[in-house]
Amino acid sequence: MNASRNHDDTHAETTATDFGGRENLTAVETPATLRGPDATGDGTIPKGSPADTGAAKKRLPRTRAAIVALAVAVAVGVYYFEFVAPFESTDDAFIDAHVTTVAPQVAGRVERVLVNDNQIVNAGDVLLQIDARDYESKLAQAKANLAAAQSQLAQAKAQLAVDQAKAEQEHANLSAVEAQASYAQSNLKRLQAIGISGVSQDQIDSAKTQASFTTANTEVAQNRILAADAQAGLSQANVATAEANVAQNEAALQQAELNLSYTKVIAPEAGRVTHRTVEIGAYVQPGLALLAVVPTNVWIVANFKETQLALMRAGDRVAVKVDAYPHIKFTGHVDSIQAGSGARFSLFPPENATGNYVKVVQRVPVKILLDDNSDADVVLGPGMSVEPKVRVN
């Protein structure tokens, strides 16, 4: 029997070192289990036995893996809810600005070009000079015409004064003639009342002739008054015409001065000169685009999907990455959201009421203002690509 037990122990030890010498004892194969229950009689494996140690070693890696997995899940969750979920981003975004096209207001040959490509200018700076000799001559002519018109106005006013004086004189003559006519009529009536018994017939006839003569003189005086008043009215109209002529020549003088000033093409606002197409000696016409001025005040138009706008509001903070300057961090905020998709305001907006319809997620332009872009080493212009990331609430 002892020999049989030794054989069983030897078999158990051999089994425990199988598979590369790793401990592989089980509760069935250990010598203790082969011999029967523990001496205590409760059927349990004593604490610290080889079976208990093996199970603990198996549970330890599983516990560590579970802890690591939990930590990774927590880290991923924190990262998602802190750095992914509260942000909306797009790569369909570009810088935009109010680009001002500069064109001349008068025609002429370019005498000087005072700016270069991409040069920074201030509002009011002279960009180019057009030959001003023709406009200087027109200005001198306008001044001469104004002087002549002013002289004609003075003559008209003087003539008006003369005619008004003549009219007043005729009115005074009428009063004298009317007085003479009244006296002649009174004298005739007096002589007729006396009759031939007191005066001669010649005296009566002479009084009648005098009365008729004074009456005729009264009518002549009245006609002269009418003529004098008409002449005074004509002179007054001539004065008004001369004044209008003066005003017209003053306006022509102002226009000539403006045209002369227009020979200096100035910058309408501060910015950077771009797309310069004018050269010295070129003949330019009014309205012909010569160059453009891009202001330093630029913004971003980001075309977000409509499904990204649920929580986006004006004032939300934005982190901006400019493709041209990946090492610089720009910041800004949402200024406004366009009331309508970009496709709706395109040249050919979609017409969904005809044909087959396929739903497409629309993009809505969002205007983003930069907080500060005054860095002299940074050039931001319309059309440059950016990637904004908006932190939504």
pLDDT digits over 241-261, tens only? Answer: 999 999 999 999 999 999 999
The second-level CATH assignment, the architecture, of 133-261 is: Orthogonal Bundle (1.10)
Q: Is the pLDDT of residue 6 over 90?
A: no
**If DSSP states are collapsed to H, E and C, what string results for 83-103?**
HHCCEEECCCEEEECCCEEEC
* Rounded Cα gap, residues 105 and 286, in angstroms: 5
Percent of the chain whose pLDDT exceeds 90:
49
User: What pLDDT is recorded for position 33?
Assistant: 44
pLDDT of residue 83: 60
The mean pLDDT value for 56-77 works out to 78
Which two three-digit tokens encode residue 288?
């012909």
Among 306, 276, 271, 305, smallest CA distance to 382 is for: 271
By CB atoms closer than 10 A (0-12, 13-18, 19+), residue 386 is buried
**pLDDT value, residue 189:** 76
CATH of domain 100-130+264-292: 2.40.50.100
Phi, psi of 103 (to 5 degrees): -135, 150
Instruction: Give domain limits for the chain.
Output: 1-36, 40-85, 90-97+297-391, 100-130+264-292, 133-261
In the block, residue with structure tokens 């366009």 = 338
- What global pTM score does this model have? 0.63
Which two three-digit tokens encode residue 346? 């395109």
Place of tokens 């910015």: 271
pLDDT > 90? residue 309: yes
Lowest mean pLDDT among 59-73, 168-182, 186-200: 186-200
Fold of 90-97+297-391: Elongation Factor Tu (Ef-tu); domain 3 (2.40.30)
CA–CA gap between residue 186 and residue 168 (Å, rounded): 27
Cα 87 to Cα 311: distance, rounded to the nearest angstrom = 10
With a cut of 50, say whether residue 298 has pLDDT above it. Answer: yes
For residue 51, the model assigns a pLDDT of: 57
Q: How far is CA 346 from CA 240, 329, 341, 350, in A?
A: 57, 32, 9, 9
The full DSSP string for 227-274 is HHHHHHHHHHHHHHHHHHHHHHHHHHHHHHHHHHHHTEEE-SSSEEEE
